């Protein structure tokens, strides 16, 4: 078996990259990809923010516009460039990429796997089929489907969580205490704006009374992994800060603060969950809840998690974006063990309180920037800009990125953030 991060075989020459507005870490992606291969950027101008990005992407390769093309037409156009691999790093483009990859005979996830990775209900069924512990999960039916509503009334248990069937980043995700509350929230969802997608109701996995994720940290983690030739390798376990209500992520850090026995159990559940997705090749971000009965998988995402490449690079030197490109090109890569970390890298997302709709002031960022261990602060919503908790993780006011020596320093820094910086709003 290959050693840690061993790469065998020569780089291929052209990668077809399916661009998506939600592709993470734009600049590092293009620079890392350029170091390895020629890039054919596949763009669809009907998606938001693609047109201005095309000029940037052209600096780093060829742009192929597939706007309005059928899958067969797109595949035929891409084939003319003879790519050796194809890649997408956004949930919204996985299925399209899988369908095109299949037509081109390129190694990627199958369309069935892409559905499994983006449809929460289908994914839970796959977990169940593979013997993994899974919380109860029900499709929330449309108004006119009385039979499905009756079934949900009979089977659902509470407390539960209502979430979009194909959503990400905790967008539109809310706790639900009872069937009556579900009906009320469902009506509100519909009247607040058009319901953009189907919803699922999931049994809430209760928090452990013990601080299994480490004192002061949340009781869930994510595992950052990749699959190559059917073999799962893990590159990091990502701890969490306690979420902001209702389920907004407030921070990530690598490595997580787990004891070695629990970490081994978490890695095993992640491996089984990824295996259940039947992935041939690619990167995954698997969320796992820590319960008194053992780790329980929440979900597997078939792409790199937001902020994860930067955290890994700072904590253990793994270049995850580069690794994703090399995997897509057919190189064999494997890690026998979790790469050791010599620092704790963190990324905090600081949200406004749930009742605030417009930010009026953010004070104290300059003082925070002077703090040891703080490398970068990015203000996302400044004075006068709207915030909405329904945006989930992406609705944060500012982010803080940096590294510290250990988890104790991280706890101290986390405390400083809330004492030094104030967010005011109305």
Partner 1 sequence: MDVIDTIREVIDEHGRLPAPVRTLGDRDDLYQNGLTSHATVNVMLALEDAFDVEFPESLLRKSTFESIAAIQEALQTMGVGVAPS
Give Cα separations from 227 to 57, 235, 303 (angstroms).
27, 11, 11
Minimum CB separation of residue 349 from partner 1 in Å reads 13
- Interface with partner 1 in residues 387-426 (CB under 8 A): 398
Q: Is residue 9 near partner 1 by the rule CB under 8 A?
A: no
Distance, in Å, from the CA atom of 349 to the CA atom of 371, rounded to the nearest integer, reads 17
Choosing from 8, 59, 105, 209, the residue that interacts with partner 1 (CB under 8 A) is 59
**Identity of the residue, 1 or 27, whose beta carbon is nearer to partner 1 in the bound complex:** 27
Minimum CB separation of residue 94 from partner 1 in Å reads 21
Distance, in Å, from the CA atom of 87 to the CA atom of 326, rounded to the nearest integer, reads 10
Cβ neighbours of 283 (radius 10 Å): 25
Q: Is residue 372 near partner 1 by the rule CB under 8 A?
A: no
Choosing from 159, 230, 382, 415, the residue that interacts with partner 1 (CB under 8 A) is 382
Q: Is residue 26 near partner 1 by the rule CB under 8 A?
A: yes
Chain-centroid distance, C-alpha 245? 19
Q: Is residue 121 near partner 1 by the rule CB under 8 A?
A: no
Contacts 24+ apart (CB under 8 A), 286-290: 286/222, 286/223, 286/225, 287/220, 287/221, 287/222, 288/220, 288/221, 288/222, 288/223, 289/205, 289/219, 289/220, 290/208, 290/212, 290/213, 290/219, 290/220, 290/221, 290/258, 290/262, 290/266
In eight-state DSSP terms, residue 309 is: H
Nearest to 120 by CA among 50, 199, 54: 199
**Identity of the residue, 48 or 209, whose beta carbon is nearer to partner 1 in the bound complex:** 48
Segment interacting with partner 1 (CB under 8 A) among 215-223, 246-254, 274-282, 381-389:
381-389
Burial class for 366, CB neighbours closer than 10 Å (0-12, 13-18, 19+): exposed
Q: Is residue 52 near partner 1 by the rule CB under 8 A?
A: yes
**Identity of the residue, 55 or 193, whose beta carbon is nearer to partner 1 in the bound complex:** 55
Q: Is residue 365 near partner 1 by the rule CB under 8 A?
A: yes
Distance, in Å, from the CA atom of 107 to the CA atom of 98, rounded to the nearest integer, reads 9
Beta pairing class for 38-43 and 14-18: parallel
Q: Is residue 369 near partner 1 by the rule CB under 8 A?
A: yes
Minimum CB separation of residue 249 from partner 1 in Å reads 18
Choosing from 276, 328, 377, 417, the residue that interacts with partner 1 (CB under 8 A) is 377
Contact 40, 16 (CB under 8 A): yes
- Interface with partner 1 in residues 189-228 (CB under 8 A): none
Q: Is residue 385 near partner 1 by the rule CB under 8 A?
A: yes
Nearest to 208 by CA among 293, 126, 317, 270: 293
**Identity of the residue, 33 or 327, whose beta carbon is nearer to partner 1 in the bound complex:** 33
Binding mask 270-299 for partner 1 (x = CB under 8 A): ------------------------------
Choosing from 49, 293, 355, 426, the residue that interacts with partner 1 (CB under 8 A) is 49
Segment interacting with partner 1 (CB under 8 A) among 21-29, 89-97, 168-176, 405-413:
21-29
Tokens of 72: 């067969």
CA angle 75, 78, 81 (to 5 degrees): 145
**Identity of the residue, 13 or 366, whose beta carbon is nearer to partner 1 in the bound complex:** 366
Q: Is residue 55 near partner 1 by the rule CB under 8 A?
A: yes
Segment interacting with partner 1 (CB under 8 A) among 77-85, 250-258, 273-281, 359-367:
359-367
Minimum CB separation of residue 47 from partner 1 in Å reads 13
Q: Is residue 366 near partner 1 by the rule CB under 8 A?
A: yes
Contact 201, 183 (CB under 8 A): no
Burial class for 340, CB neighbours closer than 10 Å (0-12, 13-18, 19+): exposed
Buried b (16+ CB within 10 A) or exposed e, 254-271: bbbbbeeebbeebbebbb
Choosing from 3, 105, 260, 384, the residue that interacts with partner 1 (CB under 8 A) is 384
Minimum CB separation of residue 100 from partner 1 in Å reads 25
Q: Is residue 48 near partner 1 by the rule CB under 8 A?
A: no
Segment interacting with partner 1 (CB under 8 A) among 102-110, 112-120, 284-292, 379-387:
379-387
Give Cα separations from 60 to 16, 36, 46, 49, 141 (angstroms).
12, 12, 21, 18, 46
Q: How many residues contact partner 1, by CB under 8 A?
A: 27
Which residues bind to partner 1, rule: CB under 8 A?
Answer: 25-27, 30-31, 34, 49, 52-53, 55-56, 59, 359, 365-366, 369, 376-385, 398
């Amino acid at each position: 078996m290959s050693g840690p991060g061993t790469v065998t075989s020569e780089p291929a020459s052209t990668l077809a990259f399916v661009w998506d507005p939600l592709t993470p870490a734009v600049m590092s992606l293009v620079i890392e990809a350029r170091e390895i291969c020629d890039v054919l950027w596949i763009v669809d101008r009907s998606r938001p923010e693609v047109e201005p990005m095309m000029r940037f992407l052209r600096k780093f390769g060829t742009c192929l516009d597939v706007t309005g093309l059928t899958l067969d037409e797109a595949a035929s156009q891409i084939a003319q460039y003879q790519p050796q691999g194809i890649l997408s790093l956004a949930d919204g483009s996985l299925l399209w990429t899988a369908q095109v990859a299949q037509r081109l005979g390129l190694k990627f996830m199958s369309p069935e796997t892409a559905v499994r990775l983006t449809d929460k209900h289908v994914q839970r069924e796959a977990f169940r089929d593979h013997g993994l512990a899974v919380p109860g999960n029900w499709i929330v039916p449309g108004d006119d489907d009385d039979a499905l509503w009756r079934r949900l009334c009979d089977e659902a248990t509470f407390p539960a969580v209502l979430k979009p069937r194909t959503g990400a980043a905790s967008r539109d995700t809310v706790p639900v205490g009872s069937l009556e509350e579900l009906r009320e929230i469902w009506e509100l969802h519909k009247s607040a704006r058009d319901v953009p997608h189907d919803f699922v109701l999931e049994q809430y996995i209760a928090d452990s009374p013990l601080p299994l994720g480490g004192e002061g940290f949340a009781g869930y983690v994510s595992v950052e992994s990749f699959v190559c030739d059917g073999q799962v390798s893990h590159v990091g376990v990502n701890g969490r800060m306690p979420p902001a209500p209702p389920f907004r992520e407030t921070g990530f850090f690598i490595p997580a603060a787990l004891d070695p026995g629990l970490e081994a159990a978490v890695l095993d559940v992640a491996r089984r969950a990824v295996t259940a997705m039947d992935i041939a090749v690619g990167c995954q971000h698997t969320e796992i809840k820590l319960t008194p009965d053992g780790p329980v998988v929440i979900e597997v995402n078939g792409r790199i998690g937001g902020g994860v490449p930067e955290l890994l690079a700072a904590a253990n030197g793994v270049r995850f974006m580069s690794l994703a490109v090399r995997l897509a090109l057919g190189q064999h890569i494997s890690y026998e063990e979790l790469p050791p970390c010599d620092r704790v890298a963190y990324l905090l997302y600081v949200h406004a309180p749930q009742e605030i709709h417009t930010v009026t002031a953010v004070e104290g960022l300059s003082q925070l920037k002077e703090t040891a261990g703080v490398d970068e602060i990015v203000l996302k919503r400044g004075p006068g800009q709207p915030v909405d908790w329904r945006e989930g993780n992406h609705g944060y006011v500012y982010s803080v990125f940096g590294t510290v020596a250990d988890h104790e320093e991280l706890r101290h820094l986390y405390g400083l953030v809330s004492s030094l910086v104030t967010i005011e709003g109305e």
